[in-house]
Amino acid sequence: MKKYLIFTIVIFLVITGVYSLGAFVFNAKIIRAFSEHTVVKTNTTTEVQKVSITLPPVHIKSLPDIKNDLLATKQSFIVANLSTKEVQLYQDGQLSNTLPIFLLGDPQSWGGSAAGVYKILSGNEASFSGIAEAYMPYGMNYYGKYYFHGLPFFEGGEKRITDETGGCIQLSDENSKTLYEFALIGMPVLVIDKENQPYAWPDKKSLTDPDVSAQSYLVADLDSGFELVQKNAKEVLPIASITKLMTALVVTENIDLRRSITITQHMIDTYGETPQLRIGDNLRVVELLYPLLLPSSNDAAEALSGFLGPQKTIQLMNEKSTHILMNNTIFFNPHGLDNKENPEKNNMSTAQDLFSLARYIVNNRSPILEVTNGKTVRSFGGIGFDIPTLGSRNIFTGDPSFIGGKVGFTLAARYTGVFLFKFQTPDKKIHRIAIIALKSEHLEPDARKILQWVQENYQLSPVAQ
């Protein structure tokens, strides 16, 4: 009797298990169909109907979203909105004061303020700026060479009057003092470069996404954060020389761009050759960006890391990733070469994180993208290279709508690329679009196929720079 009872229970479990598995498979099909904007629905008969479903638009998290996170935790924090030119002070999650920003830097000429999520690092009633050679009243450092401060003055007391800052956020002396008295060391600071621009993107025309070799890709709007199409955009993969965009970013934000460095044997011993770099040459920061970002020189990456020291540079690259919401990114070197002895120490990121990097650079350090496109930028003393003879690995150089970008290749990463374009929508709105592809076997065909797919599906027209 006991054996019969056990046998009956086993049979029951098997039958219900099969039924549950079948239900799971069926539900999985429904979920998959739902993600493709179509759900399969069965009515009281055996007839199957297809019902069109409109999914909510997917927007990639950006800096304005962080403000809501801070409010939800009822923290005391500071928000500097560079678009509205105001600083907001929040006490325990409640707005306590709003202060107008008096002066900002120009992001089109290296002077943009550093946007992102930071904290107050230090403060002094009169902080000295070695770059401006002046004192900053009520100076509060929040990142690198970037401060909140009042109207700068020279040692004799004479005010330093300018049309723009070098990237710091300048308030009136009175408001700067108010901020100084409110702030505490370690207090969160959110610097918002641009608010997301609301835009009602239409549904894509094709239900078939681009068929490419890339293991991961993402196409998204840099202005609204809207995701146009993606495949495995959150998968962590090696990124190869896309790394050099972060190297350029960190060095230009932490070094006086007038400084130069002497090329050493160690710098040019890195894998690959850069004939334009010779031992004993003295080159400035901006000069080195050209071999770094056009022919993708690993020697130039080593040289640029020499300003701060390789380990400090890598530390800052990882910290910057956190500041600009690249939470699934890690760097181990400034160039992106494979670590053959320890593959776990390759530079890694996701297409979504690289979108955040691209959005940050286009809004705050756009000269970096101009360099990737072979254009001449402010260099604080001229450029010692004949730019056209450097060559360029960027496959869209010459395309009038191409803003800039970077490609890479290693055995582990295969081919990788970040490409930014400017387009016009059918209703005459201008949008900047990023295409990111990782682990591609055929990068140029993949990138061109994705670009064509996006233009056709959303009826986008190229806009010349």
Q: What structural domains and CATH numbers belong to the chain? A: 63-192 (2.40.440.10), 216-462 (3.40.710.10)
Cα→Cα distances 208→50, 229, 240, 454, Å: 17, 10, 29, 12
CA distance 448 to 370: 21
Q: Answer yes or no: is pLDDT of 292 > 80.
A: yes
Average pLDDT (125-138) is 91
- The pLDDT, as a whole number, for residue 57 is 60
CA angle, residues 41, 44, 45, in degrees to nearest 5: 95
Asked if pLDDT for residue 331 goes beyond 70, the answer is yes
Residue 74 has pLDDT above 80, yes or no: yes
Which residues on neighbouring strands pair with residue 330, listed in sequence order?
Answer: 348
| Greatest pairwise CA separation for the chain in angstroms | 104
Residue 383: band (very low, low, confident or very high) from pLDDT cuts 50, 70, 90: confident
Q: Residues 164, 104: contact at Cβ < 8 Å? A: yes
What positions carry a catalytic annotation?
A: 241, 244, 296
pLDDT at 312: 97
| Residue-wise pLDDT tens digits, 6-34 | 444 444 444 444 444 343 333 333 233 33
DSSP assignment, residue 430? E
- DSSP track, 148-200: EES--B-TTS-B---SSBSS-EE--HHHHHHHHHH--TT-EEEEES-------
Average pLDDT, the chain: 87
List of E strands, 309-464: 348-349, 402-410, 414-424, 430-440, 461-462
pLDDT above 70 covers what percent of the chain?
88
The CA dihedral of 129, 379, 323, 75, to the nearest 10 degrees, is 40
pTM score: 0.86
Look up residue 145 and give its two tokens.
């060479």
> 120-125 — which CB contacts under 8 Å span 24+ positions?
120/78, 120/183, 120/184, 120/185, 120/186, 120/187, 120/189, 121/185, 122/185, 123/180, 123/183, 123/185, 125/180
The total of other beta-carbon atoms located within 10 Å of residue 348's CB is: 18
At 218-254, the pLDDT tens digits run 999 999 999 999 999 999 999 999 999 999 999 999 9
CA-based radius of gyration for the chain: 26
